[in-house]
Amino acid sequence: MPDRYMKVQRIEHGTVIDHILAGSAFDVLSVLGLSNDRSMSILINTQSKKGGKKDILKIEDVELSEQQANRVALVSPQATINIIVDGEVVKKFQAEAPKVVRGILTCSNPNCISNQNEPVVSEFKLGSDKTHRYVCTYCERDLVDVAKRVCS
């Protein structure tokens, strides 16, 4: 198929985040905290070869580090990260949910002490079960709506 008919063109340099949970692409963008001047493409609810729907995010001229990429797992644990150089995939790995998240999120409990004017950094620990939930170290509540909790 000629490139001009493709939904989204391939990128020469950058990062492609594939297999994002359908409808979560904007949440992934939120947790990555990338500036608005980046060139990027977003596919939402596109067909997955593995069946079902998925989102894809292509970010030009940015190579995400593993640490950055693992933030993606906060909202979409199944996502895969592809680093593209000169049009080729040079590195591919699955985002891994961090065991501890410090500083980048705020607690969803408005009455948590970490949301007050105190000199502390927020901290969340990955629960021991398979539900992929994060628990606030301070108030011990589950973190909800993760993408909305990214520190501005």
Partner 1 sequence: MRNVISVHDFSVEEINDVLDRAEGMVSIAKGEADSDLLKGKVLACIFFEPSTRTRLSFETAMNRLGGGVIGFAGTEATSVVKGETLADTIRMVSGYADAVVVRHPREGAARLATEFSDVPILNAGDGAGQHPTQTLLDLFTIRTEKGRLEGLNISLVGDLRYGRTAHSLALALAKLGNTINLVSPEGLEMPDEVVGYLKDAGMFGTACHSPEEVISNTDVLYVTRIQKERFPDPIEYERVAGIYRVDPALVSQGPEDLIVMHPLPRVNEITPEVDALPQAKYFVQAFNGVPVRMALLSMVIGGD
| Interface contacts to partner 1, rule CB under 8 A | 107, 109, 111-114, 116-120, 129, 135-142
CB of 113 to partner 1, least distance (A): 4
* Between 88 and 129, CB nearer to partner 1: 129
User: Which tokens is 29 given?
Assistant: 């963008």
Nearest partner of 144 among 104, 103, 107, judged by Cα: 107
Phi, psi of 117 (to 5 degrees): -85, 65
Cβ 92 vs Cβ 82: under 8 Å? yes
Smallest distance, partner 1 to C-beta of residue 76, A: 22
* Nearer Cβ to partner 1 (89/113): 113
User: How far is 25 from 23, CA to CA, in rounded Å?
Assistant: 6
Q: Closest distance between partner 1 and the C-beta of residue 96, in Å?
A: 24
Contact between 74 and 97 under an 8 Å Cβ cutoff? The reply is yes
Q: How far is the CB of 122 from partner 1 (least distance, A)?
A: 10
Identity (one letter) of the amino acid at 147?
A
Which CB, 38 or 102, lies closer to partner 1?
Answer: 102
DSSP strand E in 6-87: where?
14-21, 40-47, 53-60, 80-85
Residues in the chain: 152
- From the CB of 53, what's the least distance to partner 1, in Å? 28
- In terms of CB distance, is 53 or 102 closer to partner 1? 102
126 vs 135, beta carbon nearer partner 1: 135
Structure tokens at 87: 């049009």
